[in-house]
Structure 1
């Protein structure tokens, strides 16, 4: 049991290091810098190695850069596989690893280093394996986690996924119909050019998407007329997904711009809580936390930084969470009072059940050091306790709070 507890603590610390770092979290920030530098160096080396002049002069240096950066990718993958349980806290150890293994980022991480080592075991496939190294370029998407502007693009694609798929479907239908029509019109005149329907699809794709390579083109009168019509349709069709994404950008930035006015427009109240290692929210994602209707997680403060929460943010011990709730209409504000028990306070060293509270006073909670104690009859009050009550009468040493 102790071994499992120690391993879980080690894994939590490791997960915090390999996750996106925040100012004040020095090991995590250093790991992020090393990871970004390794990726940039690897890509630079991959590009420079394609130049014969550079390869002849700096070939050994480029090989060393690739060796060490790929080794880092392999170690990073092992770390993330070990911390899969932290990424998927609701799954078992094995299912969490499988979920990471088959996730998009997991596949990219695996292909970042595996093709480099496969030729050692399968020399005959060295050329094919080398082609898979292009997956390292996809690791650039990990940088998306560091910049809110790139996260906006991800949010737009998610929110507009159905509209984008619909536009792609329309383009695919138009390409298929156009290829069959052009094949029928041009096959007899150019049997070597429009050999089959696939030749027509290639022409339709280059025309509809306004690329126009010019390697395949119609020569008959009807073919040219149809090509002109399709070129005009291509401009209109390509504008559909462009317009969807542009509208998504406007909506997203307008939402972010007016988010600060949200609390004023609907009159919200906010509270701040700090998470400890024992809280149920720790290691859970924001979208996995159930809140009452009308309540929302407005902000997370971590290591002195402010995080605007999205569904994938994972709560960590020590996070300060700001929770907002819409004010009830025609609601009368409650006046809460805090009473700190000084050395001469009459409630010192007395049980709650023995206190004679006024009828207009209700004891809500007791704050003792860093703990919050639920008030019960068997709880003894001590010097230094801070008691929160609802009361319409005067209490000694009280501080009033309006909620």
Structure 2
């Protein structure tokens, strides 16, 4: 392998390691754990250091903060090195620039940079300490593990135009209300409504239904206007709330429809559990040959879902989920489970003697907690469940014969 390929593989491994949720290798899992623990410890120290009773732990807090800040700095450097894989359509410099000026790039930089800036600029230590509050936004990386929480982001992005419109209306009302209240109350309360900004503060607390009570009108006209603004405030706050609520309903509706559409596309999934001795154990995904139109969708490893990258090595206990697209296949398969009730005429017969179409086949038989492979001399008993399949093209004829019972009362025997 050439030096260039080795460097490329190293950078790809670094990208997989710093990417949240990529857990196909132990080191990637370890990195996710370390990053999350470092963030939680850093935020815990930032909060606990404000309590007087914990002042005695100041040295420990300083040590933890220095270690976690170093971890944040290393994480930023690793993301710069692997930026090309995060932005594959960009050039090397373009990928780095895209990451540096992205939301998470700025958050990652401001998480640790203000900690080291006082070394160079001691006079700005207080301002830099305030900027370090940005590190709390790193929690959004942890949020990437939870798809249900990410729905909030999707809803806000989908409804951003409507939300901006409602916020713009609120701002216009706030400005108009502040100027009107200043005109009505300035002469009666020159110390309270001394300028337009004082009216703006009152309008904000009233329109947003906060109502601190530190500024309020005392004139009759001012009180009447305040009542109108209070009613408008309830309606204005309801607008973005209604938009977000409707967005949630719409988003979950989309998720449901996607699931329904996926079932309609005739994509079949097979789950294979690797046990001791399976020939796939120890092989890479790239070394496995599957039939045409089938592929490994994902690998379930313990409680983790591993995406099937070509370098993923299969291990004992893995569950391989294989997808097969047969929508162009003329002969689609229809699976059906039939339970043998007391009056079913197959009860007590061997499989070779039951009157079943040649186009229909018995796949397996479940008896209690046991599963049996079908054999010609297998005798069916009451309570057995038979799994059969038939080509959809011939399904009407096959199941017509399959369900051809001696009397109508036996029709209830089929599930």
* Alignment TM-score, normalising by the size of structure 1: 0.69
What is residue 134 of structure 1 aligned with on the other side? 133
Give the match's secondary structure for 2:189: coil
Q: Aligned partners of 1:324 and 1:227: how far apart in 2? A: 66
- 1:269–1:326: 8 Å Cα contact kept in structure 2? yes
1:22 to partner: Cα distance: 4.5
Q: Which runs of 5+ in 1 are unaligned?
A: 278-297, 309-313, 336-400
What are the superposed Cα offsets for residues 242-276 of structure 1, whole Å, 9 maximum, x if unpaired? 11111222222233345433245xx423389x986
What are the superposed Cα offsets for residues 63-97 of structure 1, whole Å, 9 maximum, x if unpaired? 10101011100000001111111110000000110
What is residue 38 of structure 2 aligned with on the other side? 38
Structure 1 runs of 4+ aligned residues shifted over 4 Å read 274-277, 302-308, 318-327
What is residue 348 of structure 2 aligned with on the other side? none
Structure 1 residues 305 and 268, CA, compared in 2 at 3 Å: closer, same or farther? farther
- 2:38–2:68: 8 Å Cα contact kept in structure 1? yes
1:138 to partner: Cα distance: 0.9
Q: Aligned partners of 1:181 and 1:325: how far apart in 2? A: 67
Alignment of 1:167-206 (within 5 A): 167-206=166-205
Q: Aligned partners of 1:209 and 1:237: how far apart in 2? A: 8
Give the match's secondary structure for 2:298: strand
Structure 1 residues 171 and 322, CA, compared in 2 at 3 Å: closer, same or farther? farther
Alignment of 1:97-176 (within 5 A): 97-176=96-175
Q: Aligned partners of 1:201 and 1:114: how far apart in 2? A: 36
Structure 1 residues 61 and 4, CA, compared in 2 at 3 Å: closer, same or farther? same
- 1:178–1:204: 8 Å Cα contact kept in structure 2? yes
Give the match's secondary structure for 2:144: helix
Moved more, 121-130 or 15-24: 15-24
What are the superposed Cα offsets for residues 158-198 of structure 1, whole Å, 9 maximum, x if unpaired? 11111111111111111111111111111111222212221
- 2:16–2:22: 8 Å Cα contact kept in structure 1? no
Structure 1 residues 303 and 87, CA, compared in 2 at 3 Å: closer, same or farther? farther
- 2:299–2:308: 8 Å Cα contact kept in structure 1? no
1:28 paired to 2:4: no
Q: Aligned partners of 1:40 and 1:52: how far apart in 2? A: 21
What is residue 342 of structure 1 aligned with on the other side? none
- 1:112–1:133: 8 Å Cα contact kept in structure 2? yes
Q: Aligned partners of 2:45 and 2:248: how far apart in 1? A: 35
Structure 1 residues 322 and 178, CA, compared in 2 at 3 Å: closer, same or farther? farther
Work out the number of aligned pairs and report it.
310
1:25 to partner: Cα distance: 2.7
Give the match's secondary structure for 1:13: helix
- 1:20–1:29: 8 Å Cα contact kept in structure 2? no
- 2:209–2:230: 8 Å Cα contact kept in structure 1? yes
Structure 1 residues 315 and 127, CA, compared in 2 at 3 Å: closer, same or farther? farther
Q: Which runs of 5+ in 2 are unaligned?
A: 270-283, 288-294, 313-319, 333-390, 394-415
Q: Aligned partners of 1:70 and 1:307: how far apart in 2? A: 29
- 1:119–1:126: 8 Å Cα contact kept in structure 2? yes
Structure 1 residues 275 and 332, CA, compared in 2 at 3 Å: closer, same or farther? closer
- 2:208–2:233: 8 Å Cα contact kept in structure 1? yes
- 1:23–1:305: 8 Å Cα contact kept in structure 2? no
- 2:84–2:90: 8 Å Cα contact kept in structure 1? yes
Structure 1 residues 29 and 45, CA, compared in 2 at 3 Å: closer, same or farther? same
Q: Aligned partners of 1:20 and 1:107: how far apart in 2? A: 17
Q: Aligned partners of 2:222 and 2:285: how far apart in 1? A: 69
What is residue 219 of structure 2 aligned with on the other side? 220
1:86 paired to 2:85: yes
- 1:268–1:324: 8 Å Cα contact kept in structure 2? no
What's the C-alpha RMSD, in Å, of the aligned pairs?
A: 3.5
